[in-house]
Amino acid sequence: MKTDKMSILLLVAVALWALAGCAMPTAPAVSSGAGADAAPVEVKIWHMEQPPHRVERIQQLIDEFNAANPGIVVSQEPQNWGEIYTKAPAAVAAGNAPELLFAIPDFTPILNRLGKVQPMEDFVAEMDALYTFYPSAVEPYTYDDHTWAVPLYNMAHSMWYRKSVFAEAGITPPTTWDELLVAVEALTQEGQYGIGLPANKQLYTDQVVYDFMVNAGADEIYNEDGTLRFNNPQTVEAYDFYRQLYQFSPPDSPNWTWGEAEACFANRTCAIIPQFTVITTYDTQAEGDPEDLGVMAIPHSANVDASGTIAYSNAVMLLTEDPAKQAAAQEFLRFLLAPGNYGRFLNMEPGLFLPVTEAGSQDESFWNDPLAVKYQSQLETMVENAKNGRLFGFTNGNTFPSIAAISAQNLVAQTLQLVVIDGLSAADAVAEGQRLMEEALTE
């Protein structure tokens, strides 16, 4: 596979989604009491959390850190997900990359190939000893004998519903596929669809299809040797079940992205939707009644013992080889992950960003945000669901950067369209999906 081709494909994928070696050398400690003539160590952060309220919260934390550490000056430069896949490599090549750069699993291998991403397993081990990382958060960044980024926050799908709507239909929250199918059929009434499922050739559809793949036991789409195993009975089962549910979804769902799904739930047209969160839209555009908002784990097939979900562990890469800057950057990350600070960092977007450490899930500063207080029970369920998160191409200790060519073309979603729009059987569509994926990997 050609690197340039994969980079272009990655750019397309991230634009659609926009929301939003060797062991690292021991670095000398950075003194916060530098002499008057000593220039402070500067650490620049690039992140893609552009909404103004997120930028403001990050700046508050930066200001607190800088005030307490006069020998270090941290600054932020918000970036655009639609541009970062080309801008960051160019900055590395030009020698003006930031010291810290936020990342998702697909993004890290691109920068890693340029040879500037610093191994972070020692620092991750230090933070793990203090706060205990959830293994699923670290896993997507650990390969080639190193951990290449420090997990910061998680995003995971759950199923969202209204308790009153379930009660009126005599439905209890389903845990299995059989129960879910019965529920969505009963919930499909005049003016209401039982479930809202996307079918657009877009990342949201990739994500929801993978939810069902995980819950069919088809979370692995690669064999150990790097060959594809997408075409297997468990994947076929997931696609066929999606087909069965899809008949109870709105007819315009082939055009959906995340926003349309949330709107369908907010206006009560969809009784259930799978989504990272609906808390903000529900609170501002719907009833805003926390007692009625239900959230549950995604139901699983009879062949799987427990529910799982897709999850994106967002992390930060260290790009500098300067020992003083490395030490300063790590000091800021220690500050950010510390209880009392970490929860406030997560709540730059309350109800969306989830902790990646056990200590973080118990941090009072995470739970005392007004929206977190209001929707505490929902957040507790989301945190539990996220512990069982998976991401295609980054599972069970195996990382296959070539997944970028598959995700960039939304081939998981395209395979679904063959089923729900073109009318192919799940078996035939999955076989064709594997062929398309193998073709993408050879381009």
Domain of 370, in residue numbers: 3-156+311-387
- Range from 30-44, 59-73, 233-247, 255-269 carrying the lowest mean pLDDT: 30-44
CATH code for the domain of 343: 3.40.190.10
Kindly state whether residues 137 and 173 are assigned to the same domain: no
Kindly state whether residues 298 and 205 are assigned to the same domain: yes
378, 91 contact by CB (below 8 A): no
pLDDT in tens, 112-145: 889 999 999 999 999 999 999 998 899 889 888 9
pLDDT in tens, 104-121: 888 888 888 899 999 999
Kindly state whether residues 239 and 357 are assigned to the same domain: no
**% of the chain surpassing 90 pLDDT:** 76
Kindly state whether residues 282 and 411 are assigned to the same domain: yes
At 236, the pLDDT band (50, 70, 90 cuts) reads very high
pLDDT > 80? residue 2: no
Q: Which of 387, 406, 430 is the last residue of a domain?
A: 387
Kindly state whether residues 185 and 212 are assigned to the same domain: yes
Q: Which of 359, 387, 415 is the last residue of a domain?
A: 387
Kindly state whether residues 105 and 183 are assigned to the same domain: no
pLDDT confidence of residue 397: 66
Tell me how many domains the chain contains. 2
Kindly state whether residues 131 and 168 are assigned to the same domain: no
pLDDT confidence of residue 18: 41
- Range from 24-38, 164-178, 315-329, 336-350 carrying the lowest mean pLDDT: 24-38
Kind of pairing, strands 142-143 and 146-147? antiparallel
pLDDT confidence of residue 4: 47
CA angle, residues 311, 317, 322, in degrees to nearest 5: 170
pLDDT in tens, 305-334: 999 999 989 999 999 999 999 999 999 999
Kindly state whether residues 142 and 215 are assigned to the same domain: no
Rounded to whole angstroms, the Cα distance separating 329 from 81 reads 22
The tally of CA atoms less than 13 A away on the side-chain side of residue 47 is 21
Kindly state whether residues 33 and 149 are assigned to the same domain: yes
Kindly state whether residues 126 and 224 are assigned to the same domain: no
Task: List phi, psi (to 5°) of 40.
Answer: -65, 155
At 300, the pLDDT band (50, 70, 90 cuts) reads very high
- Neighbouring residues of 295: CB distance < 8 A, sequence distance ≥ 6: 158, 159, 160, 161, 378, 381, 382
Kindly state whether residues 261 and 398 are assigned to the same domain: yes
pLDDT in tens, 242-275: 999 999 999 999 999 899 999 999 999 999 999 9
Kindly state whether residues 147 and 18 are assigned to the same domain: yes
pLDDT confidence of residue 429: 98
Q: Which of 387, 416, 433 is the last residue of a domain?
A: 387
